[in-house]
Chains A and B, each alone.
Chain A
Amino acid sequence: MAGLTRGYLIQRILMWILTIWIGVTLTFAIPRLGGSDPTTAMVLAMMNLRGYVENANQIIESYKQSFGLNDPVYIQYIRYLGHVVRFDYGFSFARFPTAAWDIVTPALPWTLGLLSVASVLSFIIGVTIGSLMGWRRTPRWLQTILPTSLTFTSIPYFMFGIFLISIIAFKLHWLPATGGYSMSVNPGWNLPFIKDVLLHAIMPLLSIVLTSMGGWALGMRGLMIGVNNEDYFLLAQAKGLSPARIFFRYGIRNAILPALTAFALGLGALVGGSTLVEWIFAYPGTGYTLYRSIQDQDYTVIQTITNLMIVITATGVLILDLLYPLVDPRITYKRSVSS
């Protein structure tokens, strides 16, 4: 951790707090600016469903009482921030005795697994493709083939997922269409279960990786083209270093830094997109739980998942930020000057 100075660390952690604070404040403030509150929204939805609800006003009033919605907004806000810090959102609206948090936790490993594998895989593949596209000495045949890998770039993840389900699962019957694992296997650390989980994860993974890697590839291509004309790059070629060494140590190593920043900035979009992918595949993660709680008008669970994903994304960005000095020599340099 040569380049990790205390100032940098503090600054990044403050950014982490600020990001989470803005995110959770927006989810608190916007609905209230629109003049709606969860209980009224829920009773209205009940009315839509059943046509008529007896004593609707009393229900709203008693809910407001028990959830403290009659207090002034700033007290509600402070209490809400307390919930965020403690990750305690009270009970689920739809499945009352269960705490909202207990509904979300079983879904968490699925989402974290899918997200981390998908994001890293798509970044690595995308950067490799992009670097090869931007490198002057890439073989001609590879240059002509590579752009085809960008075909799916402009398709939203979940729509690509619908294609995959209809073709691979329903037409060809190669892979299971939905869910995280089959009913026939025992969850646990046994081989059939792990194999089954991996089989179920292929299509959700593919629908994220194939559609998102093109973005990284395009960005990396531009960065690599820039490096191509740098003096140190030309010198490395003139010295007769092996192409592999030039490509990795002089090319990717120098071009990748802005791509890493872009990766951190794109994490939020990835989390949002994967929510819809989980929903399409009925994958048992937080995205699918979120969809079900929208169906059930389960506001506490919606709030829990939303805020949790904001925290997770911010933490992912924080981790990337803290790793950044390890790969960027200039930040290391800065430190040796200041200390």
Chain B
Amino acid sequence: MAAVASNSSAQLTQTPARRTGVRDMPWLNAKFVAGSIVILLTLLFGLLGPLFWNTDLAYTASSPLNLPPAWVEGGSPDHPLGTESNGRDMLAQLIVGIPASLKVGVVAASIGMAVGILLGSTAGYVGGWPDHIIRTITDSVITIPSLMVLIAIAAYVSMPDTTAMALILALFAWPGPTRLIRSQVLTLRERGYVRMALLSNVPTLEIMLVEMVPNMLPWLAASLTGGISGAILGETGLEALGLGPTRVPSLGMIINYALNSTALVRGMVWWWLPPIIALVVIFTGFFLMTIGLDEIANPRLRGYSNVK
């Protein structure tokens, strides 16, 4: 009997210690950290690349045509990843294209986030008819097939640069954050500390920024990373269809040129595969960050073994 008791008490002292270890640092979620590292590395590739490689080679007729990568028969060490049919160097295109795609995604998602915070907190906090209007419009816009509208718009408006692209993508980047923030504000509004601040006559804006936003941080971050990859998806879709800015090399443009020049049939794997790998790495990175952040925000998702 005594042995059983001591055994269980040992377990009791052991389990909370392990659990508090997890709770103390929720941001050290494995998926979130792995995703962040992946995104950081792709960013570094784009930022440090120009120091080691001549990015002028990313433009038409700067290199010999149709060279395979250096490790394949007929390849040249001057163009380690090969060149394509318009005389662009693949490595240089990737170095220019990766940060360009990331930039569009970040700008579009940030605008969407800002609008989402504004509308979502208004709807959740003020309630009443503003809430009703915002919620109805948000629910409508969220079901519109955004890519169709974007295609129709991009077919008319020639995209001068990536900023215009980001602005147009931001048109559909706000409903997701708005919905999320509204529901979060609704639950936060009933919390004790928010009521306390209300009773203390703290200005509404201060309650939102000081009391609410810090408590929504993991949700906001998850929504942002999800939004970035959504925007990059829309961007590459438009570019792959040939509707992006044509002057700036971007990952979607490489895919567009490769498919239009029948790179698939010609077996020019080194042309269509690198931009796709780059995008898959970017999407996987943001995806890991998003589900990691979801688990940080909502401990139940960490799996039942931790919760019980």
Contacts and interface: CB of A to CB of B under 8 A. Distances in A.
Interface in B215-251: 229, 233-234, 236-237, 240-243
A265 B143 contact: yes
B156 A38 contact: yes
A273 B238 CA distance: 11
Interface in A211-253: 218, 221-222, 225-226, 228-229
A41 B152 CA distance: 13
A218 B298 CA distance: 13
A155 B283 contact: yes
Contact of B264 (A154, A170, A271): A170
A38 B152 CA distance: 11
A30 interface: yes
Contacts of A226: 300
A26 interface: yes
A15 B152 contact: no
A306 B241 CA distance: 15
A179 interface: no
Contacts of A30: 153, 157, 168, 171
A156 B279 contact: yes
B303 interface: yes
A15 B142 CA distance: 12
Contact of B155 (A166, A170, A294): A294
A315 to B, nearest CB: 10
Contact of A218 (B242, B291, B307): B291
Q: Counting chain A CB atoms within 10 Å of each CB, which of B146, B149, B168, B229 scores highest?
A: B149
B39 to A, nearest CB: 12
B148 A222 contact: no
Nearest to B294: A222
Interface in A144-178: 153-156, 158-159, 162-163, 165-166, 170
B237 A276 contact: yes
A294 B241 contact: yes
Contact of A272 (B136, B137, B146, B301): B146
A302 interface: yes
Contact of A19 (B144, B148, B237, B283): B144
B141 interface: yes
A317 interface: yes
B237 A271 contact: no
A254 interface: no
A275 B148 contact: yes
Contact of A22 (B141, B145, B158, B234): B141
A26 B171 contact: yes
Contacts of A210: none
B139 interface: yes
B265 interface: yes
A23 B141 CA distance: 7
A47 to B, nearest CB: 12
A225 B304 contact: yes
Given A15-B136, A136-B304, A155-B283, A294 B151 contact: yes
Contacts of B243: 294
B37 to A, nearest CB: 16
Contacts of A273: 147, 237
A126 to B, nearest CB: 15
B148 A272 contact: yes
A155 B284 CA distance: 8
Contacts of B279: 156, 159
Interface residues of B, number: 53
Contacts of A221: 301
Contacts of A19: 140-141, 143-144
Contacts of A314: 143-144
B147 A162 contact: no
A290 interface: yes
B28 interface: no
B210 interface: no
B174 interface: no
Contacts of B276: 159, 162-163
B277 to A, nearest CB: 10
B233 A156 contact: yes
Contacts of A23: 144-145, 148-149
A299 B304 CA distance: 54
Nearest to A280: B259
Nearest to A226: B300
Given A18-B140, A158-B237, A162-B264, A309 B171 contact: no
Contacts of A158: 237, 240
A308 B300 CA distance: 41
Given A290-B151, A306-B152, A267 B143 contact: yes
B41 interface: no
Contacts of B283: 154-156
Nearest to A153: B287
A321 B301 CA distance: 27
Interface string A308-330: 01100110010000000000000
Contacts of B171: 26, 30
A281 B234 CA distance: 19
B280 interface: yes
Nearest to B164: A34
Contacts of A269: 145-147
Interface string A2-20: 0000000000000100110
A279 B241 contact: yes
19 contacts: A22-B141, A23-B148, A23-B149, A30-B153, A30-B168, A36-B157, A154-B229, A154-B284, A158-B240, A159-B280, A162-B259, A222-B300, A225-B300, A272-B237, A276-B241, A290-B151, A291-B241, A294-B155, A306-B148
Interface of B: 136-137, 139-149, 151-153, 155-158, 168, 171, 229, 233-234, 236-237, 240-243, 255, 259, 264-265, 267, 269, 272, 276, 279-280, 283-284, 286-287, 291, 294, 298, 300-301, 303-304, 307
Closest 5 CB pairs of A and B: A272-B147, A31-B156, A154-B287, A271-B145, A154-B283
